[in-house]
Amino acid sequence: MSVIQPFAEVEHQRAVFPDGLLLDCGVHLAPVNVAYRTYGTLNAARSNAVLVCHALTMDQYLAETHPLTGKPGGWELLVGPGLPLDTDRFFVVCANVLGGCMGSTGPRDLREDGTPWATEFPSITIRDMVRAQKLLVEHLGIARLLAVVGGSMGGMQVLEWAATFPEAVFAAAPIACASHHSAQNIAFHEVGRAAIHSDPDYRAGQYAAHGVIPAQGLGVARMVAHITYLSEEALTRKFGRRLRGANAVTFLEDVFEVESYLRHQGSSFVRRFDANSYLTITRAMDYFDLAAEYGGELRNAFAGKDTRFFVCSFSSDWLFPTSESRRLVQAMNAAAARVSFVEIKSDKGHDAFLLDEPEFHQALGGFVAGAARALGV
Amino acid sequence: MSVIQPFAEVEHQRAVFPDGLLLDCGVHLAPVNVAYRTYGTLNAARSNAVLVCHALTMDQYLAETHPLTGKPGGWELLVGPGLPLDTDRFFVVCANVLGGCMGSTGPRDLREDGTPWATEFPSITIRDMVRAQKLLVEHLGIARLLAVVGGSMGGMQVLEWAATFPEAVFAAAPIACASHHSAQNIAFHEVGRAAIHSDPDYRAGQYAAHGVIPAQGLGVARMVAHITYLSEEALTRKFGRRLRGANAVTFLEDVFEVESYLRHQGSSFVRRFDANSYLTITRAMDYFDLAAEYGGELRNAFAGKDTRFFVCSFSSDWLFPTSESRRLVQAMNAAAARVSFVEIKSDKGHDAFLLDEPEFHQALGGFVAGAARALGV
């Protein structure tokens, strides 16, 4: 039995939608709860709202101390007074994704019969996540978002927002993402899922009823994912081949610093993230294939729509390489969409979109400010 | 308890060295068994021997049906009559590495007290593997090898052979390798080891005594390693995003072909490979840092020695990228060593050194034939 205990439960701010949603898989999920945080003030014209879509293991706590971990918010470098997503000017909204574990409806929630969904939680898609966010945006009285912004899985949501609800998206910034999940990315996810399924504490998904968590499996899943978020350069710079407390090879476990770091990443992650949520959300990413939703032609996802785009990639990101962003830009160009593109030189890998990258922050801030000017905000 | 059973045991051809070896970790390991296979005939001058060093999960069965799996040998495309390592001309030798599980001394073997080494097996290095092979080569009456050849971990052994026993190596071909294991490669290995350690059937390494194998953990380790052996292009070409028996997303487990393939790779691997061997050998790779053995200067490993080198990389290999091979070549040049280098254009990733790559086969065959001409073989 695992000795690692999850953090205590906290109440998350949320909106409840009793009528729920019809999901892509055909299931009508009701009610649907959407947990969210807002930063800044919605103006009288309701025209200054910026929706941030979070990545796989992030959540809605963008710019404040996280209530579970006590750590800084996930995008504190970007969201706040005077920052690129300036909360003195903009009303920034972020919702926990459908299927998540920070207050939005997900596998940890109870069904009508009082038992948790666990593995019975319906399969969801990136579009389903966006539909749930649309409910929230309407609930907040916002007909059109000034901008929708997000990196990685957040970028997939941005693309889906622009394709599905173009009239509600004035500007869209998909960052460090792609129009579909690649075979390699699916394969890495599958390793993580296999590790979770292999953990006897997973108990066929009913771990909560047994008072355990599949900490080992989820930890291994986090370890492998974490490697894909870093560049070789970033790993080498952080750790190189430095040995822990030894000048020579001592032939012990955990002899390399990088191993110790990864093990720590794995073990802290399992305390804040639900394994069934991880399975549900990684599947949603793997299913994502925007072109397939538009007859196999990616440009059709953007055709005849007025949203302006800012596509951004990072040079050392090998999980969502620049070539994938270029493919997006080509499809947008083919659809005569308004698009600007920048590849940020960075050796930090995929994680760069979460880190101190001034050029990226300046470019994103400039794009959103330009959209605000165009709308007279 | 695992329901997967390993293959039946078979007798492997081997040489026994009662005096054993002094290992880099300081342990005197004795006796040392070296299991091996040979192809072709040693000439009267004993000058036509080519030693092949195998990779992490390969073994000595290069050019014949594998006695456990019934599958073709690991380098049947390269070793045989009329092939680049022409067994009509050369005497090709391949030994199971020290620490392995195909007959050479390793964690599965019994100690003096009749219990298996398991986790008590001493830590070994790539140089220790080479020392064991040197015992075998001397046992076969070979003072100097015409060539030492190998890819991946086999390439590390080739480098160590040339550095440690230069007088015994006329020509050396390190393929798809590097002078050290990178932080990223160590990290991927660590994921595999964490998966094995997490499997309750691992039983703190004493799984054999309990009649089980840590199949789930070893399977996950194999899955993640297998991804690193393939390029994104190879994964996409093999599987793309094709769905198994479905035209649309059906929201089932194993819905993508790539997942099914990886799960198969994992489950077949555990039947032929010992988990403690996997831990021992991956550690040996991670420890490998040839420059560190020569005062931090890689060129010193090659200085003042007469071995001729053929360094070869594959353009889509991201585990041992061409930049690592170039670093080797630069160090060899700095040491005034005789070296030729080729990067083979291939989209097959690291695994290319095991696959049908005619340009690679031609180049390697040409190098070995040239060495034979120079020696008058």
Say if B181 is an interface residue toward chain A (CB within 8 Å). Answer: yes
Span B260-318, pLDDT tens digits: 666 666 667 888 899 999 999 999 999 999 999 999 999 999 999 999 999 999 999 99
Say if B294 is an interface residue toward chain A (CB within 8 Å). Answer: no
Select which of B152, B313, B316, B346 is catalytic.
B152
What is the spatial distance between Cα A217 and Cα A273, in angstroms, rounded to a whole number?
A: 12
What mean pLDDT comes out for the span A9-14? 91
What mean pLDDT comes out for the span A209-231? 90
Give me the pLDDT at residue B48, please: 98
Task: Check pLDDT > 50 for residue A182.
Answer: yes
How distant, in Å, are the alpha carbons of A155, A158, A193, A334, B32 from that of A172?
9, 6, 31, 17, 65
- On average, the pLDDT of chain A sits at 91
Give me the pLDDT at residue A10, please: 86
Give me the pLDDT at residue B233, please: 85
- On whether the A14-181+290-375 domain is CATH 3.40.190.80, my answer is no
Lowest mean pLDDT among A254-263, A281-290, B142-151, B363-372: A254-263
Cis peptide before B31 (omega within 30 of 0): yes
What mean pLDDT comes out for the span A52-68? 96
Span A13-44, pLDDT tens digits: 999 999 999 999 999 999 999 999 999 999 99
Closest residue in chain A to residue B190, using alpha carbons only = A259
What is the spatial distance between Cα B245 and Cα A283, in angstroms, rounded to a whole number?
A: 18
Hey, what amino acid is at B180?
A: H
The shortest C-alpha distance from A85 to chain B (Å) reads 34
What is the Cα B329 distance to its own chain's centre?
21
Task: Check pLDDT > 70 for residue B248.
Answer: no
Give me the pLDDT at residue A235, please: 82
Contact partners, residue A94, CB within 8 Å, separation at least 6: A36, A37, A38, A51, A52, A53, A54, A59, A60, A61, A62
Give me the pLDDT at residue B27, please: 95
What is the spatial distance between Cα B72 and Cα B298, in angstroms, rounded to a whole number?
A: 37
CATH 1.10.1740.110, chain A: domain bounds? 185-283
Span B303-359, pLDDT tens digits: 999 999 999 999 999 999 999 999 999 999 999 999 999 999 999 999 999 999 999
Span B65-81, pLDDT tens digits: 999 888 999 999 999 99
By percentage, how much of chain B surpasses pLDDT 70? 90
The shortest C-alpha distance from B41 to chain A (Å) reads 40
- Does B350 qualify as catalytic in the annotation? yes
Measured at the CA of B321, the angle between CA A249 and CA B75, to 5 degrees, comes to 90
What is the Cα B372 distance to its own chain's centre?
24
Give me the pLDDT at residue B237, please: 77
Task: Check pLDDT > 70 for residue A262.
Answer: no
Give me the pLDDT at residue B252, please: 40
Task: Check pLDDT > 90 for residue B15.
Answer: yes
Q: What's the predicted TM-score (pTM) here?
A: 0.91
- Are A23 and A63 in contact by the 8 Å Cβ rule? The answer is no
Can you tell me whether residue A268 is helix, strand or coil? helix
What mean pLDDT comes out for the span B368-376? 97
Q: Do B259 and A217 touch (CB under 8 A)?
A: no
Residue B279 sits at φ, ψ, to 5 deg, of -65, -45
At the topology level, CATH places domain B185-283 in Rna Polymerase Sigma Factor; Chain: A (1.10.1740)
Task: Check pLDDT > 90 for residue B256.
Answer: no
Select which of A12, A54, A66, A350 is catalytic.
A350
Question: Binning pLDDT at 50, 70 and 90, where does residue B5 land?
Answer: low
- Does A88 qualify as catalytic in the annotation? no
What tokens does A204 get? Answer: 């066929």
Give me the pLDDT at residue A247, please: 38
With a CB-CB cutoff of 8 Å, which residues 109-148 of chain A face chain B? 122-123, 125
- Are B36 and B96 in contact by the 8 Å Cβ rule? The answer is yes
- Does A350 qualify as catalytic in the annotation? yes
Of the candidates A184, A216, A258, which has its C-beta nearest B227's C-beta?
A184
Give me the pLDDT at residue B215, please: 87
Contacts of A25 in chain B (CB under 8 A): 251
Q: Do B188 and A227 touch (CB under 8 A)?
A: yes
With a CB-CB cutoff of 8 Å, which residues 48-77 of chain A face chain B? none
By percentage, how much of chain A surpasses pLDDT 90? 77
Task: Check pLDDT > 50 for residue A253.
Answer: no
At the topology level, CATH places domain B14-182+289-375 in Rossmann fold (3.40.50)
Contact partners, residue A32, CB within 8 Å, separation at least 6: A16, A17, A20, A21, A98, A104, A105, A132, A135
Burial category of A245 from C-beta neighbours within 10 Å (exposed 0-12, middle 13-18, buried 19 and up)? exposed
- Are A129 and A96 in contact by the 8 Å Cβ rule? The answer is no
For an interface test with A, the pick among B259, B261, B286 (most A C-beta atoms closer than 10 Å) comes out as B259
Question: Binning pLDDT at 50, 70 and 90, where does residue B250 land?
Answer: very low
Q: Do A195 and B200 touch (CB under 8 A)?
A: no
Among residues A143, A43, A130, the alpha carbon closest in space to that of A86 is found at: A43
Helix axes A126-139, A153-164, angle to 10 degrees: 70
- Residue A38: CB atoms within 10 Å: 17
What tokens does B289 get? Answer: 């840092």
Can you tell me whether residue A336 is helix, strand or coil? coil
Span A97-153, pLDDT tens digits: 999 999 999 999 999 899 899 999 999 999 999 999 999 999 999 999 999 999 999
Task: Check pLDDT > 60 for residue A1.
Answer: no
